[in-house]
Amino acid sequence: MTAETEAPQAPELGRARLRKEDARLVTGQTNWTDNIVLPGMLHMAFLRSPYAHARITSVDVSAARQLPGVIAAFSGADFAGEQGSLPCAWPVTADIVIPNHPPMAVDEVRYVGEAVAVVVARDRYTAADAVEAIEIDYEPLPPVLDIRTALDEGAPKVHPQGNKSYEWPFANGDIEAAFRDAPVVLERTYRQQRLIPSAMEPRAVVATCVADEVTLWSATQIPHVLRFALAAFFGIPEQNIRVIAPDVGGGFGSKLQVTAEEVLAVLVARRLGRPVKWTESRSEGNMTVHHGRDQWQRIRIAADSDGRLRGLDVDLLADMGAYLMLVTPGVPLLGAFMFPAIYKMDAYSFKCTGVFTTKMPTDAYRGAGRPEATFAIERIMDELAAELRMDPLEIRERNWIKHEEFPYTTIATLQYDSGNYEAATAKAKELFGYDELRKEQAERNSRGDPVRLGIGVSTFTEMCGLAPSRVLGSLSYGAGGWEHASIRMLPTGKVEVVTGSSAHGQGHETAWSQIVADQLGVPFEDIRVLHGDTQVSPKGMDTYGSRSLAVGGLALVSACDKVVEKARVIAAGMLEASADDLEWSHGRFSVRGDPDASKTIQEIALVTFAAHSLPDGVEPSLDSDATYDPDNFSFPHGTHLCATEVDTETGMVTIRSYVAVDDVGKVVNPLIVEGQVHGGIAQGIAQALYEEAVYDDAGNLLTTTLADYLVPSAADLPSYVTSRTESPAGNRLGVKGVGEAGTIASTPAVVNAIIDALRPLGVQDITMPCSPERVWRAIQTARENEGAS
């Protein structure tokens, strides 16, 4: 093997590599948790509360226990001594109320679907039958369903401590001065409806406890966090716990949780000494997978008459649901930093009040706090444009941070490291045909077309790459934000990459191979990426907050650096040269000035394995591990433009075109990035047009199935035009993250487009989801008001 015969391989970064993951997924050779069958495995089924709020007066599981095939049945009281409380890792204030949250209710239930008893049987059908035989009596208590009245004097209490969990304020600049004598002040109230994340794979758990060794397979995003939680909060020695996330079918934040069912599976397996499995049904999942969003946002802005922003004042009410789960109270706070978005202003004031209700707890759902904030600011920027008779893009340009002003410290105290809002907007306008569509809109408005054209703008940014550990500490988060990676150089020159970030559809196995291929100069095909098993990947902070690449990817680079440095010493020995005289390029060390004298990383790996002639004091290993803690968030941004046709006679909204120009920094794999953007946009459109978790007046969830909760199909969604601009982030790969961008951007783009279509008719706002009925009613109301005035 000589240098002359080999051309250096093309860089992997930026290549549209087809995914390594796909082979098993397109052929059905998958390993979902529900596929797992262990010898002697039993099946769990839960009895769940039919009441939003009730005292449990008696539970009798004896009849269920008598049924053939039933091995055991337990109520909450049977585990009262060991089930502890499900953890909340984010006590956002010193005086936050964190209620006790037993995995299985003992005395009182506080949402429909809360587990009250469990049956363990030979098969899932028998377990489901036996649940029906449990006798349980409740004394109903008043439900608490509306966060706007939950803090009223005399309101029924969800918990003895009351309905307020916390109040979290933030202020920067002189907000009173900003609003005093401001030529324009606007105030709006926006509703962020409650959403159900709806990953396609329902949650599933398999647990074993052999002697004192616990193994838990779970459809989770967070095997490492889950292992830590089982140890820290449920008293299982950490060294005895192995958590495995096999193939996981989507998460979107919903599997960023320590769930009642995971904990109970472990406790039941330990109690019975047999493996147990639980797989939720979709209707069970809609009730009991944590929900997302659910806020009331009061937002005020003050501006000069030329449209320059002076101040922004935000008052949030956030529905916590019945309990605080893993990061429930922190989700709205991620939004706190994003309300000022890409805009400059003199002052900003924010307050969030977390409120308990008798509903399923809320927690992270794609974007987690940032879509809510982005929606509100992007909606009111459109209102400001309308007020001042300016184009929505013009008002944004007047206020956004200019590309030459980066790095820029925002009024929310974030330091944006890079961005170019002008470039993304210019590209989006061109792809969209902005000026032509505006002309068509004016023409249709002037002739009173019953189908109105609307143009929606969203110039968003987000903070992701969660997160610098020190910042998390300052926000009282219970853990760090680092990520871990290790490299194992195998004797034959192949590479195993271990990542602490846990993939569930993102394509880590492919993208990580590309990064390592470039760093170590080994072929893409020679790399295998391992993840999602705490025994294989011992350290990690897992996957959420668009952090995998921006944090985990950087950990990979550090780990590769260490391999190269170790290899350098061994190569120096092999080449009888000084390590300082070696040049590293494309997987090969060459002696400076003597290109024929060189060794490949594969040759070095074999020599290291043999260890016959290593320099004195050098360990026979090239393996490395590294932990990377980012020193800043990353700030993807972009301009999304949406054109809607709104039929004023039926209220039907049709998306005619959608253009997304995203700046996610350097791109490892454009195919994967584009896919993330598509899926993100779809979920944001779904919030704008289709989805809402609806509870009735008694606190029953009405949207328990996919027939009622309208996850859109291909027929409900448009085709997207996507493109990119690139302002590299300040990290070594220049990457920012892409998982949440589409979802954050698209909801306001769509709603702004609908309002833009109907503003000439007097419509200022429509509560999401903008169903045909709501759109039609908004038009009727506007017409009535018009007639009355």
Residues at the site binding other proteins, with contacts judged by CB under 8 A: 18-19, 21-30, 32, 34-35, 123-125, 198-202, 247-250, 252, 279, 281-283, 504-507, 671-672, 674-676, 678-683, 705-707, 711, 713-715, 717, 719-720, 742
Rounded CA gap, 455 and 641, in Å? Answer: 7
Rounded CA gap, 56 and 76, in Å? Answer: 10
Burial class (CB in 10 A: 0-12, 13-18, 19+), 585: exposed
Supply 697's token pair: 């007046």
Q: Which residues are 312's β-sheet partners?
A: 301, 348
Nearest to other proteins of 410, 703 (CB atom): 703
Cβ atoms 744, 370 nearer than 8 A: yes
- Give ∠ CA 306-307-308 in degrees, rounded to 5: 100
**Smallest separation (angstroms) from other proteins to the CB of 616:** 50
Nearest to other proteins of 29, 239 (CB atom): 29
Cβ atoms 245, 504 nearer than 8 A: yes
**Smallest separation (angstroms) from other proteins to the CB of 506:** 7
Other residues' Cβ atoms within 10 Å of the Cβ of residue 79: 20
**Smallest separation (angstroms) from other proteins to the CB of 63:** 21
**Smallest separation (angstroms) from other proteins to the CB of 678:** 4
Nearest to other proteins of 123, 213 (CB atom): 123
Residue 396 parent element (H or E): helix 392-399
Rounded CA gap, 388 and 575, in Å? Answer: 73
**Smallest separation (angstroms) from other proteins to the CB of 25:** 3
Rounded CA gap, 371 and 721, in Å? Answer: 21
Nearest to other proteins of 406, 524 (CB atom): 524
Rounded CA gap, 104 and 46, in Å? Answer: 9
Q: What share of the chain is helix, strand, coil (3-state, %, to 5)?
A: 30, 25, 40
Residue 60 exposure: Cα atoms within 13 Å on the Cβ side: 7
DSSP type of residue 99:
-
Buried/exposed 228-247: b ≥16 CB within 10 Å, e otherwise: bbbbebbebeeeebbbbbbb
Nearest to other proteins of 5, 29 (CB atom): 29
Supply 479's token pair: 């853990």
**Smallest separation (angstroms) from other proteins to the CB of 185:** 38
**Smallest separation (angstroms) from other proteins to the CB of 475:** 29
Nearest to other proteins of 414, 681 (CB atom): 681
Report whether the peptide linkage leading into residue 11 is cis, meaning its omega lies within 30 degrees of zero. no
**Smallest separation (angstroms) from other proteins to the CB of 634:** 21
**Smallest separation (angstroms) from other proteins to the CB of 269:** 20
Other residues' Cβ atoms within 10 Å of the Cβ of residue 661: 27
Nearest to other proteins of 22, 306 (CB atom): 22
3-state secondary structure of 81: coil
3-state secondary structure 34-73: HHCCCCCCEEEEEEECCCCCEEEEEEECHHHHHCCCEEEE
**Smallest separation (angstroms) from other proteins to the CB of 37:** 8
Beta strands in 62-203 (DSSP E): 70-75, 108-109, 115-121, 135-140, 164-172, 184-195
Nearest to other proteins of 281, 700 (CB atom): 281
Nearest to other proteins of 221, 608 (CB atom): 221
**Smallest separation (angstroms) from other proteins to the CB of 29:** 7
Residue 788 parent element (H or E): helix 772-788
Nearest to other proteins of 61, 741 (CB atom): 741
**Smallest separation (angstroms) from other proteins to the CB of 299:** 29
Tell me which residue has tokens 């029906």: 132
Rounded CA gap, 303 and 306, in Å? Answer: 8
- Give ∠ CA 248-479-483 in degrees, rounded to 5: 55
Nearest to other proteins of 639, 743 (CB atom): 743
**Smallest separation (angstroms) from other proteins to the CB of 717:** 6
Cβ atoms 449, 647 nearer than 8 A: no
**Smallest separation (angstroms) from other proteins to the CB of 671:** 5
Rounded CA gap, 287 and 48, in Å? Answer: 10
**Smallest separation (angstroms) from other proteins to the CB of 332:** 24
**Smallest separation (angstroms) from other proteins to the CB of 517:** 19
Rounded CA gap, 24 and 308, in Å? Answer: 54
Residue 598 parent element (H or E): strand 594-600
